Structure 1
Amino acid sequence: METHQSVQTGFSRIAEALGDPIREAMVSALADGKALPAGELAAVAGISPQSASAHLQKLVDARVLSVWAQGRFRYYRIRDDDVAALIENLVDLAAKSHGARKRALPAEQLRKSRTCYHHLAGQLGVLLSNALIRRRLVAIDGRGGHVTEQGLAWCRAEAIEFDPAQQPQLRLCNDWTERVPHLAGPFANAVLARLLDTRCVAPHRIPRALRITDRGRAFFDRLGVQVPF
């Protein structure tokens, strides 16, 4: 009798780790790139610290989260950009499914501007990405890309601390509210870090949401972009 061997890629382990509402809540709480202790993640998920430990270990074992100890606390964060992109794509897929069932739209402020791991997302993130591409400060090739010489000069002019040796320098990330890509990766992370440091954008009371300031409008004006909100 002929037998067939299945080809296993290993993604079932990741899917199992993410396929639980408690672990989904924990991962969502880390989606803006920050690190949180186990106790705070337990509170977010509404479970005891003892129960949280098992859930967090499952996420670490599946290489979704990384963990390090500081004193008597253990801090957890999303492992890397690749995992963050996976989470954003899953959120995008879930949003499309919810839309088909006529679920409520996301908070308007989240749609306008928010963090996605360490980079800018929402309408403001898409406006930024389009402007950088249009002005040839970045060049896109498939799902990746690089910063051009003009882009490096722009970074110096805007005091954006970006190391071009980091590879890949940037990539496209699906925006779950705008349904078009925004920029992610080390370059996009450096731009958001500068926007936060200079108070061009500031945290909103809604988690992950950002509000643009007058300094931020001036930054976008220099890129030839008028922010419509």
Structure 2
Amino acid sequence: MQTGFARIAEALGDPAREAMVSALADGKALPAGELAAVAGVSPQGASAHLQKLVDARVLSVWPQGRFRYYRIRDDDVAALIESLVDLAARTSAARKRVMPAEQLRQSRSCYHHLAGQLGVLLSNALIRRRLVVVDGRTGRVTEQGLAWCWAEQIDFDPARQPHLRLCNDWTERVPHLAGPFANAVLARLLASRCVAPHRIPRALRVTDKGRAFFDRLGVQVPF
């Protein structure tokens, strides 16, 4: 009988399924047809692969009319995928002796939260200003932090526990913030056009509006 660990490892240990999960790693929800194209398999083959990922509780299904959209199941699975993607990237970079694109190092999305140099700067500022408190690998938003969310129109639900967790940043080699609170911050930054998608997948560029947002936190964006 397979353990839960073995079942997840088997579900992820196929190139087609790896491609599907990687396509969903930035928080998107995609239909089976698009995931089939990403993985280079037939629609029938995609259905079998996706069912295996759903059965292993890696993906969840979101029915929308006649379509079924697939996405990463939850933050715990997202954290696992982030760790695997980052480990693979570090291993590949070490083997090929290449560095990631500068835009990815500067600012990128990591599942639903901000990563890269900008993500670390944001995390450090939030901790320094006591807007969040970290204890071990998880943390919470303080009363002062909740007031900041209200002022910046960040839609965060403090009932979700834990509020945040640490996620190792593979380019900066130090943690940045992940979890519901960090997700809400990035959602606001995107919705308000403080950051915008770059032509490089997952990379983000900071707008003038975004520089003003970070200035209010005492963060000078260095790029």
Q: Does 1:29 align with 2:23?
A: yes
Q: Once structures 1 and 2 are overlaid, which stretch shifts more, 149-158 or 97-106?
A: 97-106
Indicate conservation of the 8 Å contact 1:170/1:185, yes or no. yes
Q: Equivalent of 1:148, from 142, 150, 158? A: 142
Aligned to 1:211: 205
Q: Equivalent of 1:96, from 90, 96, 99? A: 90
Q: Deviations over 1:72-113 (max 9, x none)?
A: 221100000000100111122222322331343222222211
Report how far residue 162 of structure 1 moved: 1.2
Indicate conservation of the 8 Å contact 1:200/1:215, yes or no. yes
**Inter-partner Cα distance in structure 1 for 2:103 and 2:110:** 14
**Percent identity at matched positions?**
87
Which segments of 5 or more consecutive residues in structure 2 lack a partner in the other structure?
none
Q: Does 1:160 align with 2:154?
A: yes
Q: Equivalent of 1:125, from 96, 100, 119? A: 119
**Inter-partner Cα distance in structure 2 for 1:204 and 1:35:** 20
Indicate conservation of the 8 Å contact 1:88/1:176, yes or no. no
Q: Does 1:57 align with 2:51?
A: yes
Secondary structure of the 2:96 match is: coil
**1:101-116 residue pairs with structure 2 within 5 A?**
101-116=95-110
**Inter-partner Cα distance in structure 1 for 2:91 and 2:4:** 25
Indicate conservation of the 8 Å contact 2:117/2:172, yes or no. yes
CA RMSD, aligned part only?
Answer: 1.5
Q: Deviations over 1:42-67 (max 9, x none)?
A: 11112211111111111111100001
Question: Taking structure 2 as the reference length, what is the TM-score of the superposition?
Answer: 0.95
**Inter-partner Cα distance in structure 1 for 2:165 and 2:217:** 20
Q: Equivalent of 2:215, from 176, 200, 221? A: 221
**Inter-partner Cα distance in structure 2 for 1:49 and 1:104:** 36
Q: Does 1:66 align with 2:44?
A: no
Aligned to 1:19: 13
**Inter-partner Cα distance in structure 2 for 1:39 and 1:226:** 43
Report how far residue 20 of structure 1 moved: 1.3
Report how far residue 131 of structure 1 moved: 0.7
**Inter-partner Cα distance in structure 2 for 1:71 and 1:101:** 46
**Inter-partner Cα distance in structure 2 for 1:36 and 1:99:** 29
Secondary structure of the 1:17 match is: helix
Q: Equivalent of 2:80, from 71, 78, 86? A: 86
Question: Taking structure 1 as the reference length, what is the TM-score of the superposition?
Answer: 0.93
Indicate conservation of the 8 Å contact 2:194/2:213, yes or no. yes
Indicate conservation of the 8 Å contact 2:36/2:46, yes or no. yes
Aligned to 2:163: 169
Which segments of 5 or more consecutive residues in structure 1 lack a partner in the other structure?
1-5
Report how far residue 156 of structure 1 moved: 1.4
Deviating above 6 A after TM superposition, structure 1's stretches of 4 or more consecutive aligned residues are none
**Inter-partner Cα distance in structure 2 for 1:44 and 1:204:** 20
Report how far residue 191 of structure 1 moved: 0.6
Indicate conservation of the 8 Å contact 2:30/2:70, yes or no. yes
